[in-house]
Structure 1
Amino acid sequence: MNKKKQSLYGQLVDTIRESIETELKPHDLLPSERELSEIYGVSRTTVRLAMQELENLGYIYKKHGKGTFVSSISDSIMNLTGAYSFTEQMLALGKEPKTIILDFSVVESNKYFSENLGIHKGSKMIKVKRLRLADDEPMMLERSYLPFKRFESLTSERLEQKPMYDIFLDDYNERIKCAEEEFYASLVNSKDASFLKIPEGSASLNLIRKTFNQDNEVIEYTLSVARADQFRYKVLHTKS
């Protein structure tokens, strides 16, 4: 019996997902659990499990008192790779970018951050925690760490007025040569979920970025949590 339920649940996830990808548009209202139960001839428990899975995967989202909607996972997806500037990426998509600085502080580096920033353990570093929004909708939570000696005159106010990478170039003559990036899937914890305004345990894409200047020195180390319903990792392979 459990095997049958699992089979029905898996089939329903695949069926609704295919419908979303081929027939529905972003922000379309989906039928209620009761209606889906009648349409597909399965129990409401099976429907509820399938919808939870689709929400975790980022295909749907819920609005309290209004219902369940198709997410924008296949529309205006923001590519996490190849774009250093969140601001530029949002503008290119016709969205209005906004940054809220949640924390700006000078702290001592532990072993982990000293190794990744190329500084001595216990050295000062600047910690910047930022919430990135597009059209006032939370998209990404970023925690950036910068070597204090290189950017000691940086202030929270300047970051509110100007993108970080523009500040690097214009104010400190730091030209970005390249960035190493690592991505992995995860589930959002309760604290980050509250900032991103998504349910705890929702799917997320986590990004680790290490940015180098022209002298191959690390000038930024950033840990980001991005909403899986708004971002997709894309790689283009070319044959040499």
Structure 2
Amino acid sequence: MFQSKSPLYYQLAEIIINDIKEKNLQENDRILTEREYCEKYNLSRSTVRQAIAYLEKKGYIYKVQGCGTFVSSRVMKQKLLKFYSFTEEAKKQGKTPSSKILSFKEKKADEKICKELNINRDDKVYELQRLRLADDEVVMYEKTYLLEKKMQGLSKNILLENPLYDILQNRYNISFTKATERFSVLLADEKIAEILTIPQGSPIIRLQRWTYAGMEIIEYTVSLVRGDRFEFEVELEEK
């Protein structure tokens, strides 16, 4: 133990991560105190504090003043090799997914949305704003634009019944052929911080998604994702 060339705080952080996994600690379970780690591994308080700060920054743990340090909510992982649904992926990871519709309306597309969906200025779209939750915790804010002519009669009540992609496929017989996604990293402003229930200035992921049916774009979505609760993963293979 503590024989590699990595900094001591990093080695301790790896030990704590392994403890969380091997002991199958659950969200909100308490871990050892700084003093207990010092005594157990014969480390200085500054080294232990550095390891705890590193793990807190990475989202593995969180501290409650006067109460201790606890295991954080598990970060949701999303592979990007094929079409995916937030609802189905959350279920695979043992979480209970839900959505809260903030607004749903039909409107004429403005210049930006016309460009993103490659439609005419007079075309109508549905604008859907919603929160995506995992185990009742907000992880994502989405604003989605859909072609009205491809899904006439879509309503808030219909959206409350089933996941959006299930509705498009089963109710409107829309077959997805591909999707393009673009990622960027931002800092949450006051409005978004309040929506996502995170401190202002926290890192968030801005995800844009264009979904195609044939050559036609039928969905454009902008998602703002909590950086401490979600990570995306790409697997690269040598050909």
Classify the TM-score, shorter chain: 0.7 to 0.9
Aligned partner of 2:194: which letter?
S
Tell me the TM-score normalised to structure 2 length. Answer: 0.76
SS in 2 for 1:172: coil
Q: Is the 8 A contact 1:193 1:200 kept in 2?
A: yes
The reply on whether 1:58 has 2:54 as its aligned counterpart is no
Structure-1 separation of matches of 2:122 and 2:68: 51
Structure-2 separation of matches of 1:107 and 1:14: 52
SS in 2 for 1:173: coil
Structure-2 separation of matches of 1:90 and 1:68: 26
How far did 1:31 drift? 6.4
Q: Is the 8 A contact 2:139 2:229 kept in 1?
A: yes
How far did 1:107 drift? 2.8
How far did 1:23 drift? 3.8
**Residue equivalent to 2:210:** 210
Structure-2 separation of matches of 1:60 and 1:203: 17
Superposed CA RMSD: 3.3
**Residue equivalent to 1:8:** none
Aligned partner of 1:21: which letter?
I
Structure-2 separation of matches of 1:199 and 1:12: 30
- Distance change in 2, residues 1:97/1:64 (3 Å): farther
Q: Is the 8 A contact 1:141 1:196 kept in 2?
A: yes
Aligned partner of 1:212: which letter?
Y
**Residue equivalent to 1:5:** none
How far did 1:209 drift? 0.8
How far did 1:15 drift? 6.2
Aligned partner of 1:118: which letter?
N
SS in 1 for 2:228: coil
Q: Is the 8 A contact 2:83 2:179 kept in 1?
A: no
Structure 2 residue ranges without an equivalent (≥5): 1-6
Q: Is the 8 A contact 2:30 2:71 kept in 1?
A: yes
Aligned partner of 1:238: which letter?
E
Structure-1 separation of matches of 2:168 and 2:151: 9
How far did 1:79 drift? 0.9
Identity of aligned residues (%): 37
Where do 1:173-188 residues align within 5 Å? 173-188=173-188
Aligned partner of 1:236: which letter?
E
Structure 1 residue ranges without an equivalent (≥5): 1-10
**Residue equivalent to 1:230:** 229
Q: Is the 8 A contact 1:56 1:202 kept in 2?
A: no
Q: Is the 8 A contact 1:71 1:229 kept in 2?
A: no
Aligned partner of 1:220: which letter?
E
Count the aligned residue pairs.
224
- Distance change in 2, residues 1:21/1:31 (3 Å): closer
Q: Deviations over 1:48-77 (max 9, x none)?
A: 9x84x7655434335577444332456xx3
**Residue equivalent to 1:90:** 90
The reply on whether 1:29 has 2:30 as its aligned counterpart is yes
The reply on whether 1:161 has 2:157 as its aligned counterpart is no
How far did 1:87 drift? 1.2
How far did 1:98 drift? 1.0
Query: Runs of at least 4 residues of structure 1 off by over 6 A?
Result: 31-39
Q: Deviations over 1:63-98 (max 9, x none)?
A: 577444332456xx3215234211111222222221
Structure-1 separation of matches of 2:34 and 2:202: 20
Q: Is the 8 A contact 1:83 1:89 kept in 2?
A: no
Q: Is the 8 A contact 1:72 1:229 kept in 2?
A: no
